[in-house]
Chains A and B, each alone.
Chain A
Amino acid sequence: MLQVTNLKRSFKSGDTTVTAVNDISFTVPNGQFASIVGRSGSGKSTLLSLLGALDKPTSGSISVDGKDITKLHDHALIAYRCEKIGFIFQGYNLVPNLTAVENVMLPMEFAGLAKAQRLERALSLLKQVGFSDDQMDRKPGKLSGGQQQRVAIARALANKPKLILADEPTGNLDSTTGKMIFDLLHDLARSENTTIIAVTHDLEIAGKTDTTFRLDDGKLAKGSQKGKA
């Protein structure tokens, strides 16, 4: 269970203060697929980085399975990001001089998994996202955008996270590939019972998710949370 209460994040630049996330509260049950929509600059990415403990809120709390992650110390924060969260970015953000397998192995290395286990899991994850054997040793530069995002999904799943945070994961892909990526995420979330929160501009995709949150100028638009069986 992910519970967000009165979450607020403001940025000071000079005299002006921008409140990117303004007093947001919501809950997402475990294993649900939630989407966040909203205009550019409405605070979607800011909200996501707060949920992923990449950033600290100005006020409010985020509780994951009853534990307030905003009160964690640096060391525990790193462990939280490493073990509980999987990130997927719009720009894939793979390490360019590491092969697909090595990229997937990276989070497991930080989690302290032995090399043999890392390799085994990385290979099986890449197979799950539809990689053939000869593609696994390729570096990101020799993979298409869709293939790179598959590697990113495999990397996000590596440490069996409770929560996957995806910021416009299909933003750089054509709609067909984008849909395939989303379906893939959906299936994996189901099979691994992972909560997914994804930012998207694609309303068709958003419509397929369990819940959709609409952000408007840092605020959660009223009535945006819909229940789905």
Chain B
Amino acid sequence: MMAATLIKKELIMNVLTRGIRNAFRNVIRTFSLVVILGLSVGLSLAMLVAYQAVGKKIDSVKSSVGNTVSVSPAGVRGFEGGGNALTETQLMSVSKLAHVSSVTETLSDRLTTSNTNLVSAVEAGSLGQRNAGNSGQSFSFQGGGMPPGGAGDTIGNSNSTGTVTRTFTPPVTVVGTTNPSASAQGGTFTLKSGKTFASDSSDNVALLGTSLAAKNNLTVGSTFTAYGTTITVAGIFDSGSTFGNNQLIMPLKTVQTLSAQAGAITSATVNVDSITNVESVTTAAKKALGTAADVTNAAAQAETTIAPLENIQTISLYSLIGAVAAGAIIILLTMIMIVRERRREIGVLKAIGASNLKIMYQFMAEAITLTLLGSVVGIVIGVVAGNPITKLLVNNSTNSTTTQMGMRAGRSFERGAGRGFGGLQNSVTNIHGAVGWSIILYGLAAAIIIALVGSALASFFIAKIRPAEVMRAE
């Protein structure tokens, strides 16, 4: 029993070694075949790399845009523009729409020096001073002299004989929200200490940005005054931006009550269950809110960004299929050629007692040897060429659309939906394709499959060769 299996194993070894040796019978042919197969495998791998890299980028663009729809009162962006705030009743109708998973409602307000003891962590600077003249709020009168810290905006005042200097102090922004962790502006919300509040909370609590807390020496549990009321610091967060860290996040209800804007909402973010439904929810929300609100989403811009990437993905997929098919056809034709060439030899093998199966195994071993050699060359080509080819593809097909898209993005840019969107433009061309181990394994597996498919038809010809043909003269 032992001996029998040993012999059997050894027979297979012989069939295999003969197949491997046969792969090198015609050195010139083997060399050219390996080079051609290498190119086809290399191209396949490069295309697979491009396909995956671009696919990853598409996913990240999609997720960075998110499946959200922004709702703001008509004519208002942040603190600019005018018009009337939205009401909770109006947003109730939006939250009832199909595919809406949740709605984050916020009411933004500004604290001025007259209703809070908080000091802004941001200096006015020259940009801030521009607001002193036209904002009409948050300025202080100072009797004569230049204010400390920054060039004053000195204007003549007809009512006074003296000179009034208005000094702008950047206000502290209050965001009343039903979802504190999604309400940090200019970055992502990370709670540093303390805890957040519930969405329906009406407590007099607040989350402070790190720099605002530091500037005012506040920690979790400390209190400060806003709207003439004592507010407790519930937590401190980092938004990752200077602007965001000068913010105060409070429960929506609390801000509505304290600022005497019951039921008012200045912006809302509608979360949609899937990115594919963003467009339909936008349309439905527009219909529900009518002229009272501006409803926008970033999906349109994302689509424009993704479109050329999807083109590249399609191109690389077709090239991948093409290259794999070319490799398969090359090995298939070569194996058929080799079988035809060795007709007589196959006949002899059959005449001296070889079964069809043994001869087929031998040719499969030969085909696999050839394809594996080609794959090794191809993997080298793929590793070297994968990233450059990906870059080349992406650059060529996005360059033309980037300028056009930049304009479009600029036109429809708005706080909220447009947030972080500028960076998206840059990152599109920042695709990095790399050949990983999984890709190499894919390549080798594909090579073996190609070799087996390639020898399948050859096997058919092997089976058809009649042993009696060896009797015929050459």
Contacts and interface: CB of A to CB of B under 8 A. Distances in A.
Contact of B351 (A52, A109, A114): A52
B59 to A, nearest CB: 52
B464 interface: no
A200 interface: no
Nearest to A50: B468
B353 A90 contact: no
A83 B468 contact: no
A129 interface: no
A78 B353 contact: yes
Nearest to B4: A112
B352 A82 contact: yes
Interface string B327-358: 00000000000000000110011111111001
18 contacts: A54-B468, A54-B471, A55-B466, A81-B350, A81-B467, A87-B352, A89-B470, A91-B344, A91-B473, A95-B349, A98-B18, A109-B11, A110-B353, A110-B354, A110-B355, A110-B358, A112-B11, A159-B353
A78 B471 contact: no
Interface string A60-103: 00000000000000010011011100010111010111100000
Given A93-B348, A107-B353, A114-B3, A49 B11 contact: no
A114 B10 CA distance: 8
A213 B52 CA distance: 74
Interface in B348-383: 348-355, 358
Contacts of A90: 473
A90 B8 CA distance: 33
A115 interface: yes
Contacts of B471: 45-46, 48-49, 54, 89, 167
Contacts of A83: 353
A49 B391 CA distance: 64
Nearest to A105: B14
Most-contacted residue by chain B among A95, A113, A167 (CB, 10 A): A95
A113 B25 CA distance: 26
B358 to A, nearest CB: 7
The 7 closest A-B pairs by CB, nearest first: A82-B353, A110-B353, A55-B468, A49-B468, A54-B468, A45-B471, A54-B467
Nearest to A102: B18
A66 to B, nearest CB: 22
Given A82-B352, A110-B354, A97 B468 contact: no
B472 interface: yes
Contacts of B22: 97
Contact of A111 (B3, B345, B353): B353
A173 to B, nearest CB: 16
Chain B: interface size category: 20 to 34
B356 to A, nearest CB: 9
B344 to A, nearest CB: 7
B474 interface: yes
A121 interface: no
A28 to B, nearest CB: 19
A106 interface: yes
Contacts of A55: 466-468
A52 B352 CA distance: 10
A159 B470 CA distance: 20
Interface residues of A, number: 34
Interface string A144-166: 00000000000100010000000
Contacts of B14: 109
Interface string B437-471: 00000000000000000000000000000111011
A207 B125 CA distance: 123
Interface in B201-233: none
A111 B352 CA distance: 10
Interface in B1-27: 3, 6-8, 10-11, 14, 18, 21-22, 25
A45 B472 contact: yes
A78 B355 contact: yes
A49 B348 CA distance: 12
Contact of A106 (B7, B352, B470): B352
Contacts of B7: 112-114
Given A49-B468, A93-B344, A109-B11, A54 B351 contact: yes
Contacts of B358: 110
A110 B473 CA distance: 25
Contacts of B352: 81-82, 87, 106-107, 110, 155
A208 B309 CA distance: 85
Given A49-B468, A87-B351, A107-B353, 16 more contacts: A54-B350, A54-B467, A79-B353, A81-B351, A82-B352, A89-B470, A91-B474, A93-B345, A93-B348, A93-B470, A95-B348, A109-B11, A109-B14, A110-B358, A114-B3, A155-B352
Contacts of B3: 114
B51 to A, nearest CB: 41
B376 to A, nearest CB: 23
A208 B3 CA distance: 45
Interface string B233-256: 000000000000000000000000
A167 B474 CA distance: 14
A159 B8 CA distance: 18
A88 to B, nearest CB: 10
Contacts of A114: 3, 6-7, 10
A82 B358 CA distance: 13
A224 B7 CA distance: 47
Contacts of B351: 52, 54, 81, 87
Nearest to B353: A82
Contacts of B354: 78, 110
A156 to B, nearest CB: 8
A114 B468 CA distance: 29
A83 B473 CA distance: 25
